[in-house]
Amino acid sequence: MKPPRFQYHVPESLDEALGLLAELGADAKPLAGGQSLVPLLNMRLARPGHLLDLNRVAELDYLTERDGGLALGAMTRQRAVERSALIRDRCPLLAQAIRYVGHLPIRTRGTIGGSVAHADPAAELPGVLAALDGRITLQSRSSTRVLDPADFFLGVLASAATPEELVTEIWLPAVPERTGQVWLEVARRHGDYALVGLGASVTLDGDGTISEARLALIGVGPVPVRARRAEERLRGEWPATSLFREAGRLVSAEIQPETDVHATSEYRRRVAAVLTERALAEATRQITRETVE
Amino acid sequence: MSAEVGAGSAQRRAIRVTVNGVVYERVVEPRLLLSDFLRHELGLTGTHVGCEHGVCGACTVLVNGEPARSCLMLAVQADGLAIETVESLAPDEERLHPLQQAFWDRHGLQCGFCTPGLLMLLKSFLAENPSPSEEEVREAISGNLCRCTGYQNIVAAALEAARLLREPVAG
Ligand SMILES: Cc1cc2nc3c(=O)[nH]c(=O)nc-3n(C[C@H](O)[C@H](O)[C@H](O)COP(=O)(O)OP(=O)(O)OC[C@H]3O[C@@H](n4cnc5c(N)ncnc54)[C@H](O)[C@@H]3O)c2cc1C
Ligand code: FES
Ligand code: FES
């Protein structure tokens, strides 16, 4: 197999990359880790006239604390996130989720920005952004915008990025005090795209009641979905198995998964309920363990 | 840094890639995959090609020490980088690398199609995790498909190789 012919560009700075994009427009495709784009080229499902290789734009490869959270440059490798002690400490949800992104030799090349820009409905990173209300920065030669996940992810493999824009950074809030975060998913095989994936973040008040609950699911719709009704139900309540079971029922009622070759809609609803119940129990266990220690 | 050679529709670039310690300079089309560069340009056919879309792992090589799919990289992207392929493992014609020895002893291969990719993946994995559990080995090799062995003997070989690499036999 061979990709179709294209003109190859290797900018060495962000300015140069954005300048090229502005000139070449929709006929150019950015090449990040290549773990989704090169298969499309090999199968000739994508035929861009120009490839803009971002792998030498070193200024987009960083991982740092900023504004009470973590800023990750678009060209940060997924494997670097997996290895980062800072991520494990400040954003346990991302640290857990990243290990489900493909396989080890995919994550060594695959990038944060590429995964977000690709906007696969079963991809983990968009789910983490949705669960934590992260932010996505888009830059073109003439503008910079910062979007919420709900405004960025528009559909299956569709985002708000225009052909002249690059995803340059994502930002995630640091984990608050007395908070447990859990990523769970069900796939046919470890590393396959999720049939259903779930990110949960639970914060307990000083008196032990739930002050904040966040639940985001992937694989159950065209974009990552927040389970708002279940979150609402959990707030202000005491953690309890019966409450978590009810939250699971609410989640499976409020999502609208499709049936496809991998699983039926009904099966996905059932899995979502079970994962919700388990994730909530594990998240609260994490907090009680911490306070006991 | 790779330089453009000639103009027109068949744009070609001069690249300099270190493969198994040897520096190669070639002029290639940007669309040439690293896997095809290794096999067709350099004659290093130990790197196998199965699916060519990132799923099977047969083409796994080390890029600056990290395992990667050579079918998902362009040869021009390897400019200035160091690539290791399965040909780099055995010290000479007579002796095998401990990983290869373990695969031999534990029947970790049948047809051998998946083996080069698994060996290169495991080389880097065991360097980072010298004493993995069976479960960690299974997770590490989850992206490498084998249609023959049923994986049982690959896992046994990986654990045996880990032991051999931890306690090299004198001599
Ligand atoms: C076998 C296999 C299994 C996988 N399993 C999973 C999985 O379980 N979960 C998962 O999430 N992913 C999975 N992936 C995909 C992997 O995570 C990719 O790394 C990711 O989707 C794309 O990132 P990339 O850096 O490789 O981007 P590329 O493949 O280089 O690019 C993907 C797309 O995004 C565009 N793009 C890239 N960077 C930017 C940018 N900075 N700004 C604007 N546009 C940009 C490209 O033009 C292209 O359209 C798998 C891949 C393979 C091959
Ligand atoms: S040939 Fe590269 S992963 Fe299958
Ligand atoms: S030994 Fe035949 S595919 Fe693995």
pLDDT digits (tens, 9 = 90+) for A99-118: 999 999 999 999 999 999 99
Question: For tokens 């070759």, what's the residue?
Answer: A261
Residue B110 alpha carbon to ligand 3 centre in Å: 5
| Closest ligand to the CA of A38 | 1
Map chain B to HEC letters: CCEEECCCCCCEEEEEEEECCEEEEEEECCCCEHHHHHHHHCCCCCCCCCCCCCCCCCCEEEECCEEEEHHHCEHHHHCCCEEECHHHCCCCCCCCCHHHHHHHHCCCCCCCCCHHHHHHHHHHHHHHCCCCCHHHHHHHHHHCCCCCCCCHHHHHHHHHHHHHHHCCCCC
d(Cα A30, Cα A111) in Å, to the nearest integer? 12
Question: With contact defined as beta carbons under 8 Å apart, do B164 and B134 qualify?
Answer: no
Question: With contact defined as beta carbons under 8 Å apart, do A88 and A96 qualify?
Answer: no
| pLDDT number for residue A189 | 80
Tell me how many residue pairs between chain A and chain B have CB atoms under 8 A apart. Answer: 92
Q: Would you list the domain boundaries of chain B?
A: 3-88, 98-166
| pLDDT number for residue B171 | 45
Q: What phi-psi label fits residue A113: left (phi over 0), alpha (psi between -120 and 50 degrees) or beta? A: alpha
Q: Angle at Cα A192 formed by Cα A157 and Cα A129, nearest 5°?
A: 50
Q: Report pTM.
A: 0.95
- Quick one: closest CA in B to A106, which residue? B68
CA-nearest residue for atom 43, ligand 1, is A166
Average pLDDT, stretch A197-226?
97
* B55 has pLDDT over 90: yes
CA-nearest residue for atom 3, ligand 2, is B54
d(Cα A291, Cα A293) in Å, to the nearest integer? 6
Average pLDDT, stretch B117-138?
97
Q: Would you list the domain boundaries of chain A?
A: 61-173, 179-288
Task: Give ipTM to 2 decimals.
Answer: 0.92
Question: With contact defined as beta carbons under 8 Å apart, do A64 and A80 qualify?
Answer: no
- Residue B43: partners with Cβ closer than 8 Å, 6 or more residues away: none
Confidence of residue B99 (pLDDT cuts 50, 70, 90): very high
| pLDDT number for residue A182 | 98
| pLDDT number for residue B81 | 98
Verify whether ligand 2 is closer than 6 Å to residue B59 (CB atom).
yes
d(Cα A190, Cα A214) in Å, to the nearest integer? 25
Long-range contacts of A38-42 (CB under 8 A, 24+ apart): A38/A3, A38/B33, A38/B53, A38/B54, A38/B71, A38/B72, A38/B73, A38/B74, A39/B53, A39/B54, A39/B72, A41/A3, A41/A4, A41/A6, A41/B31, A42/A1, A42/A2, A42/A3, A42/B33, A42/B52, A42/B53, A42/B71
- Is A44 buried (19+), middle (13-18) or exposed (0-12) by CB count in 10 A? exposed
Pocket test of ligand 3: the residue of B147, B152, B153, B155 to mutate, having most ligand atoms within 8 Å of its CB, is B147
Please answer yes or no on whether B30 and A10 come within 8 Å at the CB atom: no
CA atoms within 13 A on the CB side of A200: 31
For domain A61-173, give the CATH number.
3.30.465.10
For domain B3-88, give the CATH number.
3.10.20.30
Residue A35 alpha carbon to ligand 1 centre in Å: 5
| pLDDT number for residue B120 | 98
Report CA Rg, chain A.
20
Average pLDDT score over chain A: 96
Specify the DSSP element, H or E, that contains A171.
strand A166-173
Question: In this predicted model, which residue has the larger pLDDT, A236 or A261?
Answer: A236
Q: What phi-psi label fits residue A285: left (phi over 0), alpha (psi between -120 and 50 degrees) or beta? A: alpha
Question: For tokens 């090609």, what's the residue?
Answer: B49
- Is A288 buried (19+), middle (13-18) or exposed (0-12) by CB count in 10 A? middle
Q: Which of A191-195, A217-221, B147-151 has the lowest mean pLDDT?
A: A191-195
Residue A18's CB: how many other CB atoms inside 10 A?
22
* B10 has pLDDT over 70: no
Question: For tokens 């974009």, what's the residue?
Answer: A223
B interface test, pick of A6, A108, A118, A185 with most B CB neighbours within 10 Å: A108
- Architecture category of domain B98-166 in CATH: Orthogonal Bundle (1.10)
Phi/psi of residue B136, nearest 5 degrees = -65, -35
Q: Does domain A179-288 have CATH number 3.40.710.10?
A: no
| pLDDT number for residue A131 | 98
